[in-house]
Structure 1
Amino acid sequence: MSQAKQTAQKVDYNGSDNLAMMSFAKNYNGSLYEWVKQGTTASTLILDFGAGNGEYANRFPANAVDTVEIDPELLPLIKQPVYTDLSQLSHQYDMVYTINVLEHIEYHQAIVNDLFNKIKPGGTIKVFVPARMEIFSRMDEHVGHYRRYDKRMVSELLKSSGFQVTDCRYYDFAGYFISLLYKWLGKDGRITKDSVIFYDRIIFPISRVFDQLTSGKIIGKNVLAEAIRPR
């Protein structure tokens, strides 16, 4: 049994309700998709690790992305080739992306090591994870997070697997303060359609302006990183 499969079995994800609500975050999801697809062409071999409900993979043309997902309830929602374990994939990819996944995995270094081996020399990994342990709240507990990250932690995680980090920055400046407020208010960990739509349409566009002004160096609700497997 592969280390990836052993790790996957430790994931106890019960945040499908929040995942469904996030489908209403059109600006947020669109922004992340633009980041994911940047630099890809029709011939790029792509893997989505932890595809969830297919929010990003399904935006690519049919059969353009392989996906890995372990939740049987989510598998029917993915419109791309889907696998339940990395060991089922026999070839390497030009680009692997993983969005809001590593925080659900207890032994995340082992998974990043496995992803390194699934990427061609010169290929790219794109990682997106929640940021800053000081805003760890009931929401994190509700969806099964082991941790939140900072830039240094993500960089060291990637470098320890052999990657060369080319970009690592915070994302969603305003989201940090909204999340801090959410924690202070003692919310139960769930989000609503109305709150997602309000944040996505009103707050998030402003947040992205601050991301650009600060170059992601100060703070944010997430960490976004890119790295290359050396040739």
Structure 2
Amino acid sequence: MPNAEHPPSAGILGDQLVQSEVLEGLAMAKNHRKWFVAFATPFLGDHPIEVSAGLGDYAAEWLVHAPRMTLTEADPGRILALKERFAANRDVTVRELMLPSDDTADHSAAVSYNVLEHIEDDIGALRTMRAMVRPGGYVVIVVPAFPFAMGPADVATGHVRRYTRKTMRAALLAADLRIERLHYANSLGLIGYYVSTCLLRQLPGPGPMVKFYDTTVAPVTRLMERVVRPPFGQSVVAIARRPK
């Protein structure tokens, strides 16, 4: 149910307090995080870059699989927090990155979880990620799904859109990325998110609802979706590549 949410990576307005509450909720949702970590793990390669790493919870999981990693943020406070968290790991580089930008690099993959929905020029942001990976490198994207689920929580955290497979496909193709996989994930989570945030007007954050979702709903949904890809979900997951 809690969106795998990172704060905005560009000059997008949002309630910083609500964003912090969402991050705290995600820190509680360990089963959900491990589920979504697995979407990117096979594509990380030798030196991935995470765009808008938040508090570094996903990065800490990916570092088990990647020999080195670059983490980026736009918010100075989170840059400092990331540097402090990974200070003892010489294989982690933390740097500032605003999207879109003219930066180029030679990373094996760019991973971006719940960032594009904050950025007006999402195609420009995707082009930046494309420019930061080597030819043949992967761009792994997770974004919140379905405009009908846009509610007060989305507005408070600075979302400017939610995606469908169709709109995500169009954005990836416009950024000259080759789509490898594109699917929905967390079908039961979408129902819970819509009820809690759109109907009950609640804001996501740490608490008993997140705990119940993470210990009960997330494991069941993950097991179900291993067998059948759902026709809807709380998130759109995209695996794309920079053409060789």
1:82 is matched with: 94
CA RMSD of aligned residues (A): 2.1
2:215 paired residue among 188, 201, 226: 201
Q: Which runs of 5+ in 1 are unaligned?
A: 1-6
Paired residue secondary structure (1:176): helix
Shift of 1:89: 5.6
Match of 1:179 in 2: 193
1:57 — aligned with what? 59
What's 1:45 paired with?
Answer: 47
- 2:102–2:128 Cα contact (<8 Å) kept: no
8 Å Cα contact 1:63-1:81 kept in structure 2: no
CA distance in 1, matches of 2:192, 2:11: 32
- Preserved contact between residue 189 and residue 233 of structure 2 (Cα < 8 Å): yes
Structure 2, unpaired ranges of 5+: 1-8, 87-91
Distance of 1:128 and 1:219 partners within structure 2: 14
Deviation, 1:10, is 3.6
Aligned-pair distance for 1:76? 2.8
Q: CA deviation at 1:136?
A: 1.1
Structure 1 residues 18 and 159: CA distance shift in structure 2, 3 A? same
> Which residue number corresponds to residue 71 of structure 1?
75
Greater mean alpha carbon deviation, residues 167-176 or residues 189-198: 189-198
1:134 corresponds to: 148
Does the 8 Å CA contact 2:117/2:162 hold for their aligned counterparts?
yes
Contact 2:172 2:178 in 1 (8 A): yes
Name the structure 2 match of 1:3.
Answer: none
- Secondary structure of 2:77's counterpart equals coil
How many residues are paired up?
222
Deviations 1:143-181, CA, capped at 9 Å, x for gaps:
111111111111111111111101000000101111121
One-letter amino acid matched to 1:189:
L
What displacement does 1:90 show? 5.1
Q: CA deviation at 1:13?
A: 5.6
Q: Which residue, out of 201, 217, 220, partners 2:233?
A: 220
**Matched-pair contact (CA < 8 Å) for 2:21–2:206:** no
Match of 1:27 among 9, 24, 31: 31
1:153 counterpart = 2:167: yes
